[in-house]
Amino acid sequence: MFSPQTNNLFERYAACQEADRLVSVCKKQNFNPPRNSFAAHGGYADKLTELPQPPKGYLLDASPNTCEVAMEWQNYCRREK
């Protein structure tokens, strides 16, 4: 499992890169987060949801749940730069 809310700089960078990739795919699929979610309002939860870290050479699928989490991650990464 991984998340951008970590003390490890490399893990944070990898999570932010994955968020950018997933959000791009989600936007191509015309995904819109639910109106009551943090992602819909450009925010993120205090404790971000973790996603499974895929094995090397594999990518996470852009499902509705993964897209919502990735959008929150992207919001967090942009604010924490």
Q: Name the burial class of residue 11, with classes exposed (0-12), middle (13-18) and buried (19+) by CB atoms within 10 angstroms of its CB.
A: middle
Segment 6-12 shows an average pLDDT of 93
- Cα separation, 54 vs 50, whole angstroms: 12
The amino acid present at 4, given as its one-letter code, is P
Global confidence as pTM: 0.92
The pLDDT value given to residue 54:
87
Is 80's pLDDT higher than 90? no
| pLDDT per position as a tens digit, 22-76 | 999 999 999 999 999 999 999 999 999 999 988 989 999 999 999 999 999 999 9
pLDDT in tens, 11-34: 999 999 999 999 999 999 999 999
